[in-house]
Amino acid sequence: MSQYWTDLVHKLDPYIPGEQPQDQQYVKLNTNENPYPPSPEAIQALDSYNKHQLKLYPDPESSRLREALAQRFDVQKENVFVGNGSDEVLAHSFQAFFKQTQPLLFPDLSYSFYPVYCGLYEIESKKIPLNDDFIINTKDFDIDNGGIIIPNPNAPTSMLIPLSDIDKLCKQSSSVVIIDEAYIDFGGESAIPLTKKYDNLLVIQTFSKSRSLAGLRLGYAIGHKDLIEGLNRVKDSFNSYPIDSLAQTAAVSSIEDDDYFQQTCQKIIQTREQSCEQLSQLGFKVLPSAANFIFVSHESRGALELYTELKQAGVLVRYFNKPRIDNYLRITIGTEQEMQKLIITLSEILQPGKIS
Amino acid sequence: MSQYWTDLVHKLDPYIPGEQPQDQQYVKLNTNENPYPPSPEAIQALDSYNKHQLKLYPDPESSRLREALAQRFDVQKENVFVGNGSDEVLAHSFQAFFKQTQPLLFPDLSYSFYPVYCGLYEIESKKIPLNDDFIINTKDFDIDNGGIIIPNPNAPTSMLIPLSDIDKLCKQSSSVVIIDEAYIDFGGESAIPLTKKYDNLLVIQTFSKSRSLAGLRLGYAIGHKDLIEGLNRVKDSFNSYPIDSLAQTAAVSSIEDDDYFQQTCQKIIQTREQSCEQLSQLGFKVLPSAANFIFVSHESRGALELYTELKQAGVLVRYFNKPRIDNYLRITIGTEQEMQKLIITLSEILQPGKIS
């Protein structure tokens, strides 16, 4: 607390990210990072970059990167915005589109940064409840609103909305619809092609999950050029040079290395399916996942207790102390070996007769 | 223009950075970059970083970097905030401290991003005129205000305010005073020690100028821990992980390599003094500079005309089409060779009888 803070700062309720232990001693299945390294071509690009050039400002418009993304998604460069992680892209989007006379709508269970952005930009919001099976019914969003944002697949539930529902959602809405596709590459179908059909649709993706570049901070948005121009107006009023030269370079090479991208996504999907099977056998209810994480609840043991025992045994997963989901764990899909460590540890914790 | 933009976005008047030609064909003296490469130790740190680890999120608190800065400036880690370039640090500071009932004060000639931030956060502001010699009289800021921000040395004038004036300014003010020291390492005395005396003083510096790391985007603020906490509340409501892992790593090594830092700063100061002398001989009025740039006006030739002719000859400098300074050029201090190219080119442009 300080007399020097603005009123806003006193009222803020900041986001709390998942634990990032710096000692690396855990099997880390808590922040949905990719267990595989970035594309070898991206690493090569970083290694061969002439670092003397870091004395110069980066390209403020990230032109090469936006061109690479445009090519990949069959859109124009003017349809692409990049930011310092998809969190920055989301923040700018909230400021650019969502402060309206009607409230912003998002699912009651979704990315917990959304209400934080609403606090930062003083945006009214209304949470739309998922149904009892954690399914998002897009018809529930057909009420007066100043914008809609939905993660697809949803976090932390991991569940996918069919593209046909997104199509209907854009059609029925007269405000901006943002689909936050941080996890789309693990089994979902992207809404990016729909951005050509709907000028109110913005799709946001990230390099942090499917491209194993969480450490470099890169996210992007794709949509109608007028939406992108709105984002650029905010960006250029905030920070002209948000993406550093190394990140731009690595990201271009990552996008160009499609084989590696497809391979690692497939490996994670396979490991996920195997883990779901094994966890079911251990008495877990596992929600159907199209993400690089799963959302599970045990038939007889509490989630907080399991989280704590797993942490003591060196396995870090994510627990949310929130209504409706406080008996669930969110578990990132790691390598096969990491998931085996999880399964073995859980088997030990859950074995009959063990005193918890 | 778009029906989907918020009212704010329609009203924004974004910052326009200096030209960043991507073809590198110019002698580039327009954006105050350092002509020397980053510290060899910083480059070594980038090269030896295990890039497989980029799959993981960076330390959200940039702890090692904040500790290195704290050690360098003889403060505690709790007194240090880092951001994605000092522009991001400035943006967060405006939101954290400057939206008050009284207007923010800044010099009428100063960093042209300040009024842009005021637009972004809807902050009232009042410009305090420099005197006719472009001197900032800190007594002029002794009026009701909701905050004060001054670059020292000032940009684009290059002129320094004595530390004793900053001391008086903090003492006389009951609001937050930010001293924006982007250029302090080229001959000024930092106000950082005063942050122990005044809990309303925040000092902002950058790695983009004296540390040759404009391409990596790093800035920081030093002040009372309550001010830093205010900044962290904004940061954690905007982007939990603003500084990527490579930038954190390189920045720590740069800070630790003090010898290289001192050497490059000294070289730039020497080249500046030499260039000032030569430009005076060519008929330029050169304001006394404590920065890595100079602000000059020619006795007989217009600044816009000189900017244009220099650009045609392959030398890029900065021209501001603004009242009071539209007959000045801001020239970054490059290497000795680059400055010789500037001097020779100007000599040719200015030679008697040449048709302009």
What integer pLDDT is reported at residue B355 of this predicted model? 54
Q: Does B43 touch chain A (CB under 8 A)?
A: yes
Candidates B145, B141, B153, B103; CA nearest to B124 is: B103
Residues from chain B that touch A53, judged by Cβ atoms under 8 A, are: 215
Looking at the predicted structure, is the pLDDT value of residue B351 above 70? yes
Residues from chain A that touch B332, judged by Cβ atoms under 8 A, are: none
What integer pLDDT is reported at residue A20 of this predicted model? 75
Question: For residue range B75-110, what is the model confidence (pLDDT) as tens digits?
Answer: 999 999 999 999 999 999 999 999 999 999 999 999
What integer pLDDT is reported at residue B76 of this predicted model? 98
Q: CA–CA separation, B155 vs B294, rounded Å? A: 10
Q: CB–CB of B214 and A175 under 8 A?
A: no
Q: How far is CA B58 from CA A5, B30, B71, B96, B239, in A?
A: 28, 33, 21, 24, 12
Candidates A248, A221, A252, A229; CA nearest to A58 is: A248
What integer pLDDT is reported at residue A52 of this predicted model? 98
Q: Does B5 touch chain A (CB under 8 A)?
A: yes
Distance (Å) from the alpha carbon of B24 to chain A's nearest alpha carbon? 10
Tokens of A172: 């029925």
What integer pLDDT is reported at residue B18 of this predicted model? 80
Looking at the predicted structure, is the pLDDT value of residue B354 above 90? no
Tell me A159's DSSP state: P
Q: Does B104 touch chain A (CB under 8 A)?
A: no
Q: What angle (nearest 5°) sits at the alpha carbon of residue B208, between those of residues B104 and B292?
A: 85
Residue ranges in chain B assigned as alpha helix (H): 7-11, 40-48, 63-73, 86-97, 114-121, 163-172, 225-235, 245-256, 258-281, 303-312, 336-350
Q: CB–CB of B53 and A215 under 8 A?
A: yes
Please identify among residues 197-216 of chain B the ones whose CB lies closer than 8 Å to any CB of chain A. Answer: 199-200, 208, 212-216
Q: CB–CB of A54 and B213 under 8 A?
A: yes
Tokens of A245: 């030269």
Does 3.40.50.10860 match the CATH number of domain A18-36+259-350? Answer: no
Q: What is the mean pLDDT of residues B298-319?
A: 96
pTM: 0.96
Answer whether the bond into residue B352 is a cis peptide, omega within 30°.
no
Give Cα B66 distance to the centre of its chain.
20
What integer pLDDT is reported at residue B352 of this predicted model? 72
CATH number for the domain formed by residue range(s) B7-36+259-350: 3.90.1150.10
Answer whether the bond into residue B153 is a cis peptide, omega within 30°.
yes
What integer pLDDT is reported at residue B17 of this predicted model? 84
Q: CA–CA separation, A216 vs A213, rounded Å? A: 5
- What secondary structure does DSSP assign to A264-316, as a single string? HHHHHHHHHHHHHHHHHHTTEEE----SSEEEEEESSS-HHHHHHHHHHTTEE
> In a mutagenesis test of the A interface, which of B3, B12, B56, B207 is the best target, namely the one with the most A β-carbons within 10 Å?
B56
Q: Does B96 touch chain A (CB under 8 A)?
A: yes
What integer pLDDT is reported at residue A1 of this predicted model? 82
Q: Does ipTM come in above 0.85? A: yes
In the A/B pair of chains, how many CB contacts fall below 8 A?
269
Architecture of A40-256 per CATH? 3-Layer(aba) Sandwich (3.40)
Q: Does A57 touch chain B (CB under 8 A)?
A: yes
Q: What is the mean pLDDT of residues B199-215?
A: 98
What integer pLDDT is reported at residue B20 of this predicted model? 75
Q: Does A63 touch chain B (CB under 8 A)?
A: yes
Tokens of A114: 């959304």
What integer pLDDT is reported at residue A353 of this predicted model? 63
- Which residue from A minimizes the CA distance to B241? A217
pLDDT band, residue B261 (cuts 50/70/90):
very high
Q: CB–CB of A215 and B96 under 8 A?
A: no
pLDDT band, residue B23 (cuts 50/70/90):
low
What integer pLDDT is reported at residue A107 of this predicted model? 97
Q: Residue B17 is nearest to which of A1, A2, A240, comparing CB atoms?
A: A240
pLDDT in tens, chain A (356 residues): 899 999 999 999 999 888 777 666 899 999 999 999 999 999 999 999 999 999 999 999 999 999 999 999 999 999 999 999 999 999 999 999 999 999 999 999 999 999 999 999 999 999 999 999 999 999 999 999 999 999 999 999 999 999 999 999 999 999 999 999 999 999 999 999 999 999 999 999 999 999 999 999 999 999 999 999 999 999 999 999 999 999 999 999 999 999 999 999 999 999 999 999 999 999 999 999 999 999 999 999 999 999 999 999 999 999 999 999 999 999 999 999 999 999 999 999 998 766 55
Answer whether the bond into residue A21 is a cis peptide, omega within 30°.
no
Q: CB–CB of A239 and B91 under 8 A?
A: yes
Q: How many helices (H) and strands (E) does chain A have?
A: 11, 13
Looking at the predicted structure, is the pLDDT value of residue B6 above 90? yes
Q: What is the mean pLDDT of residues B34-53?
A: 98
pLDDT band, residue B1 (cuts 50/70/90):
confident
Query: What are the structural domain ranges in chain A?
Result: 18-36+259-350, 40-256
Candidate CATH numbers 3.40.250.10, 3.40.50.720, 3.40.640.10, 3.30.10.20; the one for domain B40-257: 3.40.640.10
Greatest distance between any 2 Cα atoms in chain B: 64
Q: What's chain B's average pLDDT? A: 96
Residue ranges in A173-257 assigned as alpha helix (H): 225-235, 245-256
Residues from chain A that touch B5, judged by Cβ atoms under 8 A, are: 96-97, 226, 230, 233
